[in-house]
Amino acid sequence: MSGFNGRRGIPSSAGETAADAGHPEIIAILKRKIEEEGPLPFRDYMTICLYHPEFGYYRREETKIGRDGDFYTSSNLGSVMGEIIAGELLAYAVSVPAGRPVEFVEFGGGTGRLARHVLDALRSRSPERYASVSITAIESSAYHRALQRETLREHADRLRFLTEAEWLAEPAGGGVFAVANELADAMPVHRVRCRDGRLELGAVGWDDRTGFTERWLPLGEGHPAAMHLGREGIRLAHGQQAEVNLGAGEWITRTAGRIRSGRLLLVDYGDTAGELYASHRMNGTLMCYRRHIADDNPYAAAGRKDITAHVDFTACMRAAWAAGWTVARYETQREFLVRGGILGRLVEHAGRDPFSPEAKANRAIRQLLISDGMSELFKVLTLEREESRIRD
């Protein structure tokens, strides 16, 4: 499956096999919770499947990214993405007053490959700027911390690991350059639908014969998901389903409070609200990934596969504005890469050896730019905050 950028896989309509049964502890936890409390809001179901402290998909010591995992990210297609982000970091570092250090922060860095590509490129291009940069990896998973520590061992003298709560507890600081690559798409979402002009909330029930069942409950006007849709002026068509990701905006608000001045790059697949909630998207955007096979059934193989939904970048921008940030750019990943000079990285070569370094580099660039249209589906939101805006 090399060549796919981001959480990509082969669409599956064959269903799950016995080998892909759900994680037994996750199923037991969910079943018990449903029996005690009744139908579980989908957001709670997704939270347990992905983030249960001991058994959740992102918490277990299992490979998730790359050939032996469930999906690829851009860092699996060579180092170009990291090198271009390094250019953004260098441009920002030049704007920071002399003598002030720069803190490079990565949220949910997975294996650490993207951070390594960024830092390797920065060290190569500007050793003096690299020497002034500290590295903070925001990571709550012990398994992924270990992977990142190994991947970033050449930068270990300036690397520290913190949970988000630990980082937020520190005094607000300036000179922060932060990156969140494919973070928001995995935040738990509410599922909603419209029936006869009324909104309903997606929930999960349990049947001893068939397992998890999809339930739809009345959605009151005071529910956060309904209030969000109302604020944004979003009206769903009859029968239309959609996802509401409240966590992304909340995360931006929290993060903004910690960064006195700096720049934040949010890289993910998604679109503006007008596109995500358009009537042609009748089934929403929820997708699952397991062994590089994509499906839209979050109830099969519960706890054993990734569950994602497209990011509402309109909501992200509104949260940023409300927190006093400026939206510097909102662009497709293709536009971001071209602006960063990716086309100039193509190398002429004889073409006789498809496995030569030059051929591999060119192939990675083509995959980043044109593979399955993912470079258009992925967006890069660049947020900025200047020190003077805090003092005013």
Handedness of CA 297, 307, 285, 370 (dihedral sign): negative
**Domain ranges within the chain, ordered by starting residue:** 10-391
Q: What angle do CA 25, 29, 30 make, to 5 degrees?
A: 120
CB 155 within 8 A of CB 119: yes
Q: How confident is the model at residue 351 (pLDDT cuts 50, 70, 90)?
A: low
Instruction: Give me the mean pLDDT over the 273-301 stretch.
Output: 91
371 vs 119 pLDDT, higher one: 119
Q: 3-class SS at 369?
A: helix
User: Tell me, what's the pLDDT at 62?
Assistant: 73
3-class secondary structure per residue, 94-142: HHCCCCCCEEEEEECCCCCHHHHHHHHHHHHHCHHHHHCEEEEEECCCH
pLDDT band at 370 (very low <50, low <70, confident <90, very high): low
Question: What confidence score (pLDDT) does residue 391 get?
Answer: 41
- The pLDDT of 336-363, averaged and rounded, is 68
372 pLDDT above the threshold of 80: no
- Give the percent of the chain with pLDDT over 90: 69
- In this predicted structure, the answer to whether residue 123 has a pLDDT above a threshold of 80 is yes
CA dihedral 139, 141, 143, 145 (to 10 degrees): 20
Question: Is the model's pLDDT at 91 over the cut of 80?
Answer: yes
Tokens coding 163: 């949970």
Cβ neighbours of residue 43 under 8 Å, at least 6 residues apart?
Answer: 188, 189, 190, 191
The listed range with the strongest mean pLDDT (53-57, 73-77, 138-142, 379-383) is: 379-383
Whole-structure pTM value:
0.87
Query: Taken in order 353, 359, 360, 363, is the CA torsion positive or negative?
Result: negative
Q: What is the pLDDT, as a whole number, of residue 359?
A: 62
Q: Give the side-chain half-sphere CA count within 13 A for 170.
A: 15
**361 pLDDT higher than 80:** no
Mean pLDDT of 294-323: 95
> Confidence band (pLDDT; 50, 70, 90) for 390?
very low
According to the model, what pLDDT value does residue 3 have? 31
Asked if pLDDT for residue 357 goes beyond 90, the answer is no
Q: Which of 203, 251, 199 is nearest to 225 (CA)?
A: 199
Cα 265 from Cα 118, distance rounded (Å):
13
Q: Which CATH number fits domain 10-391: 3.40.50.12710, 3.20.20.70, 1.10.287.3510, 3.10.450.40?
A: 3.40.50.12710
Each residue's pLDDT tens digit, 98-116:
778 899 999 999 899 999 9
* pLDDT at res. 2: 29
| pLDDT at position 60 | 83
- Compute the mean pLDDT over every residue in the chain, rounded to the nearest whole number: 86
Q: Which of 20-34, 46-60, 234-248, 333-347 has the lowest mean pLDDT?
A: 333-347
